[in-house]
Chain A
Amino acid sequence: MSRSDESLTQLERNAKLVLEESVRRIDARTRSRLNQARHAALAAAGTRPRAWWASFTLMPAAGAVAAALLVAVVLWHREPARTAPVALDAPHAAVEDMDLLTDNDSIDLMEGWDGSFYEWAAAQSDAGAESNT
């Protein structure tokens, strides 16, 4: 892997010497920071990145949610369309009248009718109209 010094020219040998000297002169602050960086890197080596297959652990839950959504959409589309309300026709109205007639509450209301008051009020209004003319 490494080169032997015998094969180097004088310039290369000198350059190697000078470069090694410049490495030796690296200050303590830089050495300390490099040391910290190395320890951080070694600590990171222990924390393996998440494997690609780990993402499949959530697949069953995701599948269940997707299936539930699919069923909901299908059921919603298969529901019969709501029909618009139709106009009341005569037979329909008659049926409603029958309902009113057969309803006990409605009969009680009719029995509690106070007709005398309304007859008196109508006579009063008629008399007022005649006196004005």
Chain B
Amino acid sequence: MPEFATLASPYSMPAALHGDVDLTDPEEQTQTRALNQFLAGVELKAFKIAQAALRHEDDALDAVQDAMLQLARAYAARPPEEWKPLFYRILENRIRDMQRRRTVRGRIMAWLPLRGEDDDEEFDPIAQAPSLEPQPVRRLELDEAVGALEQALERLPPRQRQAFLLRTLEGLDVADTARAMGCSEGSVKTHYFRAVQALRAQLGELYL
């Protein structure tokens, strides 16, 4: 049955529901597929960047989801090479909005009776249980390194942290980082240089 070999997996065509007749034109399908591939490629790194800025998993997920929606709705027709800086620009704006809202909420909550931060979170015994899987030494070293880097990143000013993560984790060049951050290339270089200096001061050159 060679004709079945050409059928795409249902997950590669999210615009059409299972069993529906797909009436979209081939050009649109190609664009959707390219967008799917792009978003799948950036979503995990974008989540880490959002998490580093917001320090809250659900907020980070919301920020990434909003950025994906905005990109898909407003910029899907743009050339794919523009998507990455656009996506990170949208994500950064979303993160800033959430931080601003959080600041306002914090001011309001300061007037209310004291309440624990984790009151809404249900206790999950499975998540809290220690893993029985034996941890190799290398994994422990990596655990420590991840923890140390995340703490050091938290201490960085937001713009430095953003420049560092976009350049190091996402691998953007200076021009695309400048587009994503909405600033000049010179500012990106400055932020990045200062971030590296600060991390070196905190972690040392060979911290791993």
Contact = CB atoms under 8 A, between A and B. Distances in A.
A and B: interacting chains: yes
B32 A38 contact: no
Interface of B: 14-15, 24, 28, 32, 35-36, 39-40, 43-45, 47-48, 57, 61, 64-65, 68-69, 71-73, 76, 81, 84, 142, 145-146, 149-150, 164-165, 167-169, 171-173, 176, 196, 199-200, 203, 205-208
Contacts of B39: 38, 41-42
Interface residues on A, range: 35 or more
A1 B172 contact: yes
Given A10-B206, A37-B61, A47-B73, 4 more contacts: A1-B171, A34-B47, A38-B40, A45-B32
The 7 closest A-B pairs by CB, nearest first: A41-B68, A37-B65, A45-B72, A2-B171, A41-B72, A14-B208, A19-B169
A43 B145 contact: no
Interface of A: 1-3, 8-12, 14-23, 25-26, 30-31, 33-35, 37-47, 49
A50 to B, nearest CB: 12
A46 B208 contact: no
Given A1-B172, A18-B142, A19-B169, A38 B36 contact: yes
Contacts of A8: 168
B208 A42 contact: no
Contacts of B173: 1-3
B43 A19 contact: no
B47 A44 contact: no
Contacts of A12: 168, 196
A11 B196 contact: yes
A37 B64 contact: yes
B68 A37 contact: yes
